[in-house]
Structure 1
Amino acid sequence: MTDLGKVDSEFFEEYIFPHLGAERDDVTLGPQHGVDFGVIELGSMASQTESDSVMEVGDVAIATATDPIYIMPSLGFERAAWFAFHILMSDVAVSGLQPTHLAVDFNLPPEITDEEFATIWRTFDREAKKLDVSVVTGHTARYAGCNYPMVGGATAMAVGDPDDVVRPNGARPGDRVLLTKGPAVEATGLLSNQFEDLMDLPEETVEQAKDRFYDMSPVEDARIAAEAGDVSAMHDATEGGVHGALTEMAAASGVHLDVRHDDVPVLPGVLEACEFFDIDPWASISEGTLLLAVAPEDADGVLGALSDAGIPAGDIGEVRDGTGVTVDGEEIEHPEVDPFWGAFEEFMEHE
């Protein structure tokens, strides 16, 4: 297991994957390393109408994903809660279905005040209403030994038509590889807001880096892309960044991705902030960045729809037969350890 961050593929395959409980026919997509969500499919169901007649409803798919609740008080509780909520929504959003339900478990540190929690929960409520997401169950308590930023966990769900599910392992040879927003969005947004006073960079550059904070959600990217064309796979670039997402998508789909750095959009302030914090932008966590495989005839349509929504995106390469990832003609491996965590620990000592 890596010292910090998610477990690597070797640990997953040895310790987790062999032990997944009972096998059920309704689980059509189970746990895989580097795959964002699972899918349960239910057969046709009956539904009561307002006139008390019964109508038959088609098959139903439930995409589900579980993540930590990540709250950084130093961001301010409202901004911290906005980010935490969108992290929870992002993994089911890349299923191609719209997020619909949320189950929440808060294991809070003893020092959190009622007012601070109220700010977190009001923000969750506001963002959930924007996305038409309902909170269906949960658990809330203060416990000794619980500390920021990991203050519990939550399971998000997206309910819809099985035919609309975009499988994370569905990339097809011939597809175009698209990417929104570019590298290190989350690393830049979090580090620059947390350590603004330590950044020895021009004021304009620091402000640009801080502005990346509200780019840290791929939920809208995924919705727009799924509606705009034939998307065969989506994956958000979390730990391991863009290079991690590329290798995970290639491995999950059993294909080769051939891409170019020069065609990747890079947002203002990112490269300068990554250089200051001494992290590799291509290997650094980038929540908000969405990687897509799209049918070649639909690539321009998806890019146009994203552009119309003000979301930067680029056609960065092609899906081919084979395995692995080539960037600018050179094979790359998964970064394994995300440099964000080390930089965060280092700069916390200087505050």
Structure 2
Amino acid sequence: MADLGKIDGDFFDEYIYPNLGADREDEILSPQHGVDFGVIDVGGKAVALATDPVFIMPSLGFERAAWFAFHILMSDVAVSGMTPTHLSIDFNLPPEITDEEFATIWETFDAEAKELGVSVVTGHTARYAGCNYPMVGGATAIAVGEFDDLVKPNGAQVGDKVIITKGPAVEATGLLSIQFEPLMEGEMDAEALSAAKDRFYDMSPVQDALVAAAAGPVTAMHDATECGIYGGLYEVARSAGVGIELETDAVPVLPGVRETCNFFDIEMWHAISEGTLLATVSPEGVDDVLAALDAEGIPAAEVGEVVSGSGLVVDGEPTDHPGIDPFWGAFEENMGKLADLQ
């Protein structure tokens, strides 16, 4: 297991996969490493479920932090192609959180849930000693829909085209530039820093996924979270038993991303990028998907192809899964620098 961040595939295969409880006939999609959600059949309806930590960074301001936390929870079921419908949430809060701060979090969750049509169906809320930001609980997001609308994460097929929205390191850029703005001021071009901070509200792939799925025959979707675009595409390929070829020159890179990654000395293609959608699309649907995304103001491009074989090939070179996301080390290191500055 890595010291920081998610477990790798080997750990999953040794410790998690052999111990998944009872086998049930209603389980349609079982847990796999790098797959965002599971699926069960309930009375002929597809029910997608995904569980994640509740991630609250007070330094973002509680309203902004809660917006991001909510969209993290929704993103893994949104890539099922079905609109999220329900939320079950557990808050294990640090003792220092005030009633007013929690109210801001919960009112923001309520507003975003109403906007998306999500109902909170159950939960748990308490302060506990030993609980600390940013991981303050866990939640399960649920999407209920028709099986015909379900986009399985292992559905990529040879000949499909690869579409990517927004490009690399969106989350790393948005979070690092806001958290460490005092370290970056005067050391990085002011226009680039402002652009980097603007990446914050790009950190949701929910609209990207729902727009893409509605527009054309999408065969698989994945959000580029830990280990970024390279890690995400490698996982899409592995889950479907295919290869993926990527041309990096075709991938959109949003303003402020290169400068921020250079400042923190992190590889942007390996860095966490919540908000970036990775999709494989049947060739006949590519133009429709790109047009639909463009109509919603979502930057996107066709950047590669699904091929026979296995793994990821980047600009003609076989490329392994990054294994470790550089965001976490950069974040920890610069928290120390920020404390010294203050």
TM score, norm. by length of structure 1: 0.95
- Residue identity in the other structure for 1:342: G
Partners in 2 of 1:111 and 1:287 — Cα distance? 28
Matching residue of 2:12: 12
Q: 1:125 aligns with which of 110, 134, 137?
A: 110
Matching residue of 1:32: 32
- CA deviation digits over 1:270-317, x for unaligned, max 9? 000000011000000000000000000110110010011000001001
Partners in 2 of 1:228 and 1:192 — Cα distance? 34
Matching residue of 2:211: 224
- CA deviation digits over 1:15-58, x for unaligned, max 9? 00000000001010010000000000123xxxxxxxxxxxxxxx
- Residue identity in the other structure for 2:10: E
Partners in 2 of 1:113 and 1:42 — Cα distance? 40
- CA deviation digits over 1:97-140, x for unaligned, max 9? 00000001000000000000000000000000000000000000
Indicate whether 1:166 and 2:163 are aligned: no
Could you list the runs of 5+ residues in structure 1 that have no partner in the other structure?
44-58
Matching residue of 2:48: 63
The runs of at least 4 aligned residues of structure 1 exceeding 6 Å deviation read none
Note the C-alpha offset of 1:259. 1.1
Partners in 1 of 2:45 and 2:26 — Cα distance? 11
- CA deviation digits over 1:63-103, x for unaligned, max 9? 00000000000000000000000000000000000000000
- Residue identity in the other structure for 1:218: P
- CA deviation digits over 1:149-186, x for unaligned, max 9? 00000000000001111000000001000000000000
Indicate whether 1:100 and 2:85 are aligned: yes
Indicate whether 1:339 and 2:311 are aligned: no
Partners in 2 of 1:318 and 1:193 — Cα distance? 35
Which secondary structure state, in structure 2, belongs to the residue aligned with residue 64 of structure 1? Answer: strand
Matching residue of 2:270: 283
Which secondary structure state, in structure 2, belongs to the residue aligned with residue 331 of structure 1? Answer: strand
- Residue identity in the other structure for 2:171: E
Which secondary structure state, in structure 1, belongs to the residue aligned with residue 258 of structure 2? Answer: helix
Partners in 1 of 2:41 and 2:221 — Cα distance? 19
TM score, norm. by length of structure 2: 0.98
Partners in 2 of 1:86 and 1:30 — Cα distance? 23
Which secondary structure state, in structure 2, belongs to the residue aligned with residue 227 of structure 1? Answer: helix
**Pairwise mapping of residues 104-253 of structure 1 onto structure 2 (< 5 A)?**
104-199=89-184, 200-253=187-240
Matching residue of 1:312: 299
Q: 2:76 aligns with which of 91, 104, 113?
A: 91
Partners in 1 of 2:311 and 2:251 — Cα distance? 19
Partners in 1 of 2:234 and 2:136 — Cα distance? 30
Please, what is the CA RMSD of the aligned residues? Answer: 0.4
Indicate whether 1:294 and 2:281 are aligned: yes
Partners in 1 of 2:88 and 2:304 — Cα distance? 37
Which secondary structure state, in structure 2, belongs to the residue aligned with residue 39 of structure 1? Answer: strand
| Number of positions where the alignment pairs a residue of Structure 1 with one of Structure 2 | 336
- CA deviation digits over 1:306-345, x for unaligned, max 9? 0110000010011011101101000101111100000000
Identity of aligned residues (%): 69
Partners in 2 of 1:211 and 1:325 — Cα distance? 30
Q: 1:73 aligns with which of 58, 63, 73?
A: 58
Partners in 1 of 2:271 and 2:83 — Cα distance? 27
